[in-house]
């Protein structure tokens, strides 16, 4: 695991680095990029009304009803959808399906901390390619890795930046193998790359219902790709990966709560812009973000995060993130705080605590 991993994630077991973020209870938790407006009303109703037979029987083998609802949501046919126990499960299954032990997987640095862990779990070699000074993917260096799988995250976690469409297209056109594009934060961005899944059978786009949909505790992820890709991922994934209760709640959210989801996503975007402006006023400018969080370069991120936690606020500290010279991250030695955007009263309290913690 490289230095861009959150410090709390550096546990290990049997030689494998584990993902173990600090989950101690806190009055205001802005550390996980989840929906701080709560869960969709329709999904909550399904859970509250769950009857015993729905809990004692096995779910559908491959979540067919959920596939149908997701297909309607993204505008594809159900045979272009694969589901899993969170998008992590889909990513892990795809890596296992399309690479062999010893193969390479190339990814930007910094990016989603689970990908190098999945590489370790599947005996792959992770090739980490530093982002450009504009926080975009370095196309030439990514392709030079000749990796069996290229992983891209847009908007990227933890920077929040959307990758340039021209860069994504160049990699898709020239990569020797599968290109996975992680769109976990698509609902907060101005654009997506769903058209690529229809254009080529070498692109798999992963998404989640943990962020905008507020269902992180139910672990529902999915991917969009050609039927050929979907079939291979399902072979690797196996049956029964989405529980029956989770499937019914997710279908209710997709059927009854889309307006609720879109309204809260729009609120997150408005508050993200307002929060960034207020951060700049106190001298802590955030990187440009297209997600439901901002990355704020600060000196000694671990100490600042600890000071915020003493004030009842949890954020995610990063230390020594890879940063090009002359960038905001370089000015702090790569240290930064990732702060989830939620209702304004939570962000306003965070601004006050941040002034004290940095001041």
Residue 8 dihedral angles phi and psi, to the nearest 5°: -65, -10
Residue 309 clears pLDDT 70, i.e. is over it: yes
Q: Is residue 264 part of a domain?
A: yes
Question: Do both 268 and 337 map to the same domain?
Answer: yes
Residues 322 and 182 in one domain: no
Quickly state the pLDDT bin for 135 (edges 50, 70, 90). Answer: very high
Residues 250 and 223 in one domain: yes
- Is the same domain home to 248 and 268? no
The pLDDT of residue 45 is above 70 = yes
How much of the chain, in percent, has pLDDT values that exceed 90? 89
State how many domains the chain has: 2
Q: Residue 353: left if φ>0, alpha if ψ -120 to 50, beta else—which one?
A: alpha
For 175-211, how does the pLDDT look when each residue is reduced to its tens digit (9 = 90+)? 999 999 999 999 999 999 999 999 999 999 999 999 9
Domain boundary among 229, 257, 285: 257
Any idea what the CATH number is for the domain that residue 146 is in?
3.40.640.10
**Terminal-to-terminal C-alpha distance of the chain:** 32
Are 251 and 163 within one domain? yes
71 and 195 assigned to the same domain: yes
pLDDT of residue 21: 61
For residue 6, what pLDDT is reported?
A: 55
What Rg value do the Cα atoms of the chain yield, rounded? 20
Q: Is residue 74 part of a domain?
A: yes
Residues 137 and 217 in one domain: yes
The answer to whether residue 9 scores a pLDDT higher than 50 is: no
Q: Is residue 2 part of a domain?
A: no
In this structure, the answer to whether residues 14 and 98 fall within a common structural domain is no
pLDDT in tens, 318-334: 999 998 988 999 999 99
Flag whether 150 is in a domain. Answer: yes
Q: State residue 274's pLDDT score.
A: 98
Residues 127, 16 share a domain = no
Q: Provide the whole-model pTM.
A: 0.93
pLDDT tens-digit map of 81-121: 999 999 999 999 999 999 999 999 999 999 999 999 999 99
Q: Tokens 């997709």 belong to which residue?
A: 254
CA distance 294 to 273: 10
Task: Note whether residue 1 is domain-resident.
Answer: no
CA angle 157, 162, 165 (to 5 degrees): 135
Backbone angles phi, psi at 197, to 5 degrees: -65, -25
Question: Residue 119 is part of which domain span?
Answer: 41-257
**263 and 253 assigned to the same domain:** no
Portion of the chain with pLDDT greater than 70, in percent: 94
Express each pLDDT in 210-259 by its tens digit: 999 999 999 999 999 999 999 999 999 999 999 999 999 999 999 999 99
Of 219, 236, 257, the residue at which a domain comes to its end is: 257
Give the residue from 227, 257, 287 where a domain finishes: 257
Q: How confident is the model at residue 13 (pLDDT cuts 50, 70, 90)?
A: very low
């Amino acid at each position: 695991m490289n230095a861009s991993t959150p410090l709390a994630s550096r546990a290990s077991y049997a030689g494998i680095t584990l993902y173990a973020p600090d989950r101690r209870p806190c009055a205001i938790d802005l550390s996980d990029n989840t929906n701080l407006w709560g869960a969709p009303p329709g999904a909550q109703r399904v859970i509250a009304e769950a009857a015993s037979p729905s809990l004692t029987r096995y779910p559908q083998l491959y979540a067919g009803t959920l596939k149908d609802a997701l297909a309607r949501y993204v505008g594809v046919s159900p045979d272009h959808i694969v589901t899993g126990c969170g998008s992590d499960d889909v990513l892990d299954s795809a890596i296992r399906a399309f690479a062999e032990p010893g193969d390479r997987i190339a990814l930007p640095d910094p990016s989603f901390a689970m990908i190098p862990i999945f590489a370790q779990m599947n005996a792959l070699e992770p090739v980490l390619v530093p982002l450009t000074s504009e926080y975009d993917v370095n196309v030439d260096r990514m392709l030079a890795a000749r990796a069996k799988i290229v992983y891209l995250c847009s908007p990227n976690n933890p920077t929040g930046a959307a990758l340039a469409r021209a860069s994504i297209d160049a990699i898709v056109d020239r990569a020797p193998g599968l290109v996975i594009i992680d769109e976990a934060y698509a609902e907060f961005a101005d654009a997506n790359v769903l058209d690529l899944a229809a254009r080529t059978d070498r692109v798999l786009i992963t998404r989640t219902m943990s962020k905008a949909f507020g269902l992180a505790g139910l672990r529902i992820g999915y991917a969009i790709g050609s039927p050929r890709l979907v079939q291979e991922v399902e072979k690797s994934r196996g049956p029964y990966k989405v529980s029956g209760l989770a499937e019914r709640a997710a279908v209710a959210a997709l059927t009854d709560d889309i307006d609720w989801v879109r309204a809260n996503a729009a609120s997150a975007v408005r508050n993200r812009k307002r929060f960034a402006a207020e951060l700049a006023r106190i001298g802590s400018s955030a990187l440009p973000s297209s997600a439901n969080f901002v990355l704020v370069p600060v000196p000694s991120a671990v100490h600042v995060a600890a000071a915020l936690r003493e004030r009842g606020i949890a954020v995610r500290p990063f230390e020594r993130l890879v940063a090009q010279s002359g960038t905001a991250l370089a000015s702090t030695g790569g240290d930064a705080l990732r702060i989830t955007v939620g209702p304004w009263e939570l962000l306003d309290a965070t601004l006050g605590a941040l002034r004290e913690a940095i001041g």
